[in-house]
Each structure stands twice: as C-alpha cells, then as structure tokens.
Amino acid sequence: ASYSTTSLLLALLSNLLSASEALNVVLAGGTGPVGQALASSLQPTDKVTILCRNAFLAGSMVRASSQFGWVGESFLQKFPNVQLRDWDGGDLLDIVGQDWVGWQQDTLANADVVVHLYGGYTEQRVMACERLVRESYAVNRKAMHITVAPIEEDLDIVAPMCAKAFKIQRVKQCEDMVSSNCQNSVCLKIEANRMEQNCKDMLAVIDKLR
C-alpha cells in the first residue's frame, strides 16, 4: 500500500510539473508542412493554436481548395492539443474566415511563443508580420517571437516564381520589424528539405522557455 501511495504521489507530481512547463504556442500561417511538423513535435501538454485564413476549410476531412491552408480533420484528432483559429492575416480587405473577430485576445494575449510561419513573398508577408507585431505589442509584449525563413541559397527552391531580390527584401523587412519591436525575438534560418533538423532548431528555442 505504501508503494502504491508513493507511486501515485510521484505520478501526480510529474503531472503537476508537466502542466507548469506547458506553453501556449501560436503558429501564424502554421497550416503548411513546417507548421504541421512543429505542431506535432511540441509537448502534448502545450496548447497550440494555428492562425489561418479559414479554420473551417483548414480542418475539413478533405482539402477543398489549394488556395487555403489545410491540416485535415485526422491531424486535429491525432493532436487534440492543436486548434485552428481564423485571423485576418494583416489584410482586412481579404478576410475569408467566418469568425476572425477577437483573434488577438483569444491567442496573442496569453501566448508564450509566436512563430511566424506565413508563406509567400508578396507584400502580404510583410502585412501579416506587421499585424502580429502590432497586436502583440498591444496585448502581450512578453511573448517570444520566432521568425522562420529559408537560408538565402534556398529561396529559389521554395519560391521559384518570385524574383530573389524581392524575397530577400521582404524577409529582411519582417525580421527587422520583429527584432526592433518585440522584447524577445529570434530570427531562424532553415534549409529546404531538412524538416527534422528545422523542427529541432525551432524546438530548441521554444524549450528554453520551459
């Protein structure tokens, strides 16, 4: 009986320690391969919120359109600590989600980590970054912001249709915006086709907060 009691107490202590180390992680634009890989690699006790343009389509059983991000119903069932949340993506003229109002309070206000994973190298990338930085400044200045972008040599691999000079410029704009306006920030460079290592690099930054 004494052994059982000790085991129970140790289990309860372990659960309490795990809960105290749990983080609130926001992945902006996290419906892509990098976001899904990171979300599935975080601790099961972490609360993970993926900001997307249309949460209904992103969480559907099958992908309805290539124009919107998609993780799928089975992914959400496998990782119940991951949830989807509509947001405006920095462009109030291009809102497609059904319930984007209040995303700042729902996600950023209690975030420990905000990972910038929005894709593309158009002006939309800069707008999304500015939106995150501005709203974080308003509701939660202590969160760790992590920008993620390919190394310069891989930019043509991940986005071959966009001029390299524009890609470099927009990546730098976002990194400068985050480093200049966020109290805690890290700018990570990742390599194409090295998903496992990229996740390890992101997790190394996140796990320092535990």
Cα dihedral 91/96/101/104 (nearest 10): -50
pLDDT at position 98: 56
The rounded distance, in Å, linking the Cα atoms of 11 and 141 is: 35
Of the given ranges (39-48, 82-91, 148-157, 191-200), which has the lowest mean pLDDT?
82-91
Instruction: Name the 3-class secondary structure at 195.
Output: helix
| Residue 86 exposed, middle or buried by CB count within 10 Å (0-12, 13-18, 19+) | buried
What domains can be seen in the chain, in order of their start residue?
23-207 (3.40.50.720)
The pLDDT tens digits of the residues spanning 164-193 come to 899 999 999 999 999 999 999 999 999 988
The 8-class DSSP code of residue 162 comes to: S
Q: The pTM is what?
A: 0.88
Residue 92 above 70 pLDDT?
Answer: no
CA atoms within 13 Å, Cβ hemisphere of 39: 28
Task: Look up residue 62 and give its two tokens.
Answer: 């099958």
pLDDT tens figures, 38-80: 999 999 999 999 999 889 999 999 998 888 899 999 999 999 9
Q: What is the DSSP string of 24-76?
A: EEEEETTTSHHHHHHHHHS-TTSEEEEEES-HHHHTSSS---TTS----HHHH
Q: What percent of the chain has pLDDT over 90?
A: 70
